């Protein structure tokens, strides 16, 4: 069972980190393009606000345009996200930041007040029918990834260590078997270790690929790369070919490159 206090306090820490990061940006940085198609830094902030408003039960605003036709909108979730982005685009940076503080403060109070029974109740999440606790861990992952989007856009690296990063990797790990077996096409009988420095993730393919605590022997390929490169590849934030110089392989290099170039899985 996912720990309520750990997840909620990680969200508090992540929202505080985002607050401090956004507060330090000048007007030009707020308008800087990110690697997310069609979005600037201000749009990332608007998306974060919008998701928490949605979780608070607020209705999605009318964007006043055909957001579904935008080339980077591929599904209903993307269209909903874009409506929030469009809604806040006419507002000042100061107003967007103030709304971010207001919404996250209210959400934090609500989460802390929830009973364990409510927090662990069944809920629909971006990963399908799970629990509200799982949804909130996904929120840690999403917010942390967007912090990295902002940092990359404005050239202010940081935030890649600590509880929020750890929980984000935990969330990625839930999809890693699918990513290695289905997207990466790792053959039956193979195995892989992702060495991220601070931790190692092992996947064995035995009929299907699954994450395991350890491997009985050497992995077919050991892939060593910085945690930030790994998470950006999983999030589809970087061109895998451009990331390869930051990756080292020990074992079946061809399999390793095949996996690294097919890590992206987020919507």
Decide: 188 and 207 in contact? Cβ < 8 Å.
Answer: yes
In this prediction, what percent of the chain has a pLDDT beyond 70? 98
Lowest mean pLDDT among 73-77, 132-136, 189-193: 73-77
The Cα–Cα gap between 45 and 81 comes to 11
pLDDT digits (tens, 9 = 90+) for 104-127: 999 999 999 999 999 999 999 999
Chain centroid, CA 162 distance in Å: 15
* Dist CA 79 CA 73 (whole Å): 6
pTM: 0.94
Using DSSP, state whether 207 is helix, strand or coil: coil
- pLDDT, one tens digit per residue, over 142-191 is 999 999 999 999 999 999 999 999 999 999 999 999 999 999 999 999 99
Q: What's the pLDDT band for 64 if we cut at 50, 70, 90?
A: low
* pLDDT of 65 over the 80 cut: no
Question: Is 41:32 a contact under the CB 8 Å cutoff?
Answer: yes
Q: Which residue has the higher pLDDT, 69 or 16?
A: 16
Which position has the higher pLDDT, 184 or 66?
A: 184
Token pair recorded at residue 169: 């990797």
Q: How many helices (H) and strands (E) does the chain have?
A: 11, 7
pLDDT at residue 72, as a whole number = 80
Residue 75: count other Cβ atoms within 10 Å of its Cβ.
10
> pLDDT higher for 131 or 72?
131
| pLDDT for position 241 | 95
214: left (phi over 0), alpha (psi -120 to 50) or beta: beta
């Amino acid at each position: 069972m996912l720990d309520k206090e750990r997840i909620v306090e990680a969200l508090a820490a992540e929202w505080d980190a985002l607050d401090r990061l956004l507060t330090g940006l000048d007007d030009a940085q707020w308008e800087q393009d990110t690697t997310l198609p069609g979005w600037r830094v201000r749009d990332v902030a608007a998306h974060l606000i919008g998701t928490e408003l949605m979780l608070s039960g607020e209705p999605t605003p009318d964007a006043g345009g055909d957001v579904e036709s935008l080339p980077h909108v591929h599904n209903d979730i993307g269209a909903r996200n874009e409506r929030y982005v469009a809604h806040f685009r006419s507002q000042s940076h100061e107003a967007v930041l103030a709304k971010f503080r207001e919404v996250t403060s209210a959400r934090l109070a609500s989460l802390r007040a929830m009973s364990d029974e409510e927090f662990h109740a069944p809920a629909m999440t971006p990963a399908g029918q799970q629990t509200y606790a799982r949804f909130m861990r996904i929120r840690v992952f999403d917010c942390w990834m967007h912090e990295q989007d902002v940092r990359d856009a404005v050239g202010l690296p940081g935030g890649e260590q600590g509880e929020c990063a750890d929980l984000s990797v935990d969330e990625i790990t839930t999809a890693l078997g699918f990513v290695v077996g289905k997207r990466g096409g790792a053959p039956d009988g193979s195995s892989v270790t992702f060495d991220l420095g601070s931790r190692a993730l092992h996947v064995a393919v035995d009929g299907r690929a699954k994450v395991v605590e350890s491997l009985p022997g050497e992995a077919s390929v050991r892939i060593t790369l910085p945690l930030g490169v790994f998470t950006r590849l999983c999030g589809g934030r970087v061109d895998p070919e451009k990331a390869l110089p930051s990756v080292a392989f020990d074992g079946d290099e061809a399999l390793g490159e095949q996996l690294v170039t097919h890590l992206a899985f987020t919507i």
